[in-house]
Chains A and B, each alone.
Chain A
């Protein structure tokens, strides 16, 4: 079983607030990812990191930012939340050492911006 954690699991917040979604993994994985999952279920990659101090934007443009100061930690921040940010956010990690590069997912954070 994968050891990847996300907090909070659910968050309801007002427009304009700053929020940080936490993601941590204890597997020592180099690579970490953030996906946004819309109500139609489709997943979109919004950020990824290949290691400490490495961050890249994904396929879907997002107003969020990420940081990777420690291998195990990959938080996502929204400086000013808007209703359009309402979604589920999934964090994942994988290892360069695995040739199949299986991604392991956290339980997700369901965000509602009022």
Chain B
């Protein structure tokens, strides 16, 4: 079946540091890939997405590139801020999953001033 493996957390960085959160996947067909963010006490918000190989999703300074050859969708940001502190979830939808989201386990990011 489909699965998403995310970098284990928690991750703690200083403000303006470079962020990478690794995400790899296993899926049938050609999945769409997503990053969701969950701020404390809130629901999930879509951060960015990519629907085909070599697509780059970007939003709020975050980027992720759909790499079919390595089955990866790593999240990056060049300079994190304290306000980026949240839990980040990698997810996919594939034709083999009855079009349902499969989530990774989430990565807690804390950015210190």
A residues in contact (CB < 8 Å) with B: 6, 33, 40-43, 45, 48, 58, 90, 92, 99-108
Contacts and interface: CB of A to CB of B under 8 A. Distances in A.
B110 to A, nearest CB: 14
A43 B89 contact: yes
A90 B44 contact: yes
A23 B87 CA distance: 23
Interface in B62-100: 87, 89, 93, 99-100
A45 B100 contact: yes
A90 B43 contact: yes
B51 A99 contact: yes
Contacts of B38: 41
User: Chain A's interface: helix, strand, loop or mixed, by majority?
Assistant: loop
A100 B108 CA distance: 26
A108 B46 contact: no
B49 A43 contact: no
Interface of B: 32, 34, 36, 38, 42-46, 49, 51, 87, 89, 93, 99-101, 103, 105-106, 108
A17 B39 CA distance: 30
A91 to B, nearest CB: 8
A50 to B, nearest CB: 9
Contacts of B46: 102-104
A58 B97 CA distance: 11
B37 to A, nearest CB: 11
Contact of A101 (B32, B89, B106): B32
A107 B42 contact: yes
A29 to B, nearest CB: 13
B42 A108 contact: yes
A103 B105 contact: no
A41 B42 contact: no
A26 to B, nearest CB: 16
